[in-house]
Amino acid sequence: MPQGGIYNGAVIWQPITDVQQFIQTFYASSTLPHLQKAKIVASQDLPKIAAQVAQINGLPSAKAGRVRYEYQI
């Protein structure tokens, strides 16, 4: 399956462990185009939320974070 293809409703992609890169890859190019030229003003890892997500979904690990952008409309 090629990267970016759809299989059973899921996008085929290599895992992205960086929250900022994930947002840019999946959202800034289409859903949130105003973020393409936005400035990141804050970023925070959320390890407790990541641990809960991993536990609920039976995953070995997960990543969670919060990113704040500054941009003009």
What pLDDT is stored for residue 47 in this prediction? 96
Does a structural domain hold residue 6?
A: no
Question: What are the pLDDT digits (tens) for 10-39?
Answer: 888 888 889 999 998 888 888 888 888 899
55 pLDDT higher than 90 = yes
What pLDDT is stored for residue 53 in this prediction? 95
| CA–centroid distance for 19 within its chain | 5
Does a structural domain hold residue 22?
A: yes
Does a structural domain hold residue 41?
A: yes
Number of domains making up the chain: 1
Cα–Cα distances (Å) from 8 to 12, 30, 49, 54, 57, in that order, read 10, 21, 27, 22, 18
Cα–Cα distances (Å) from 48 to 12, 17, 72, in that order, read 27, 16, 32
Does a structural domain hold residue 3?
A: no
Average pLDDT over residues 50-56: 96
Does a structural domain hold residue 7?
A: no
Does a structural domain hold residue 2?
A: no
| CA–centroid distance for 47 within its chain | 15
Taking the CA atoms of 8, 12, 17 and 19 in sequence, report the sign of the dihedral they define: negative
Does a structural domain hold residue 47?
A: yes
The fraction of the chain above a pLDDT of 70, given in percent, is: 100
- Give the structural domain span for 53: 16-70
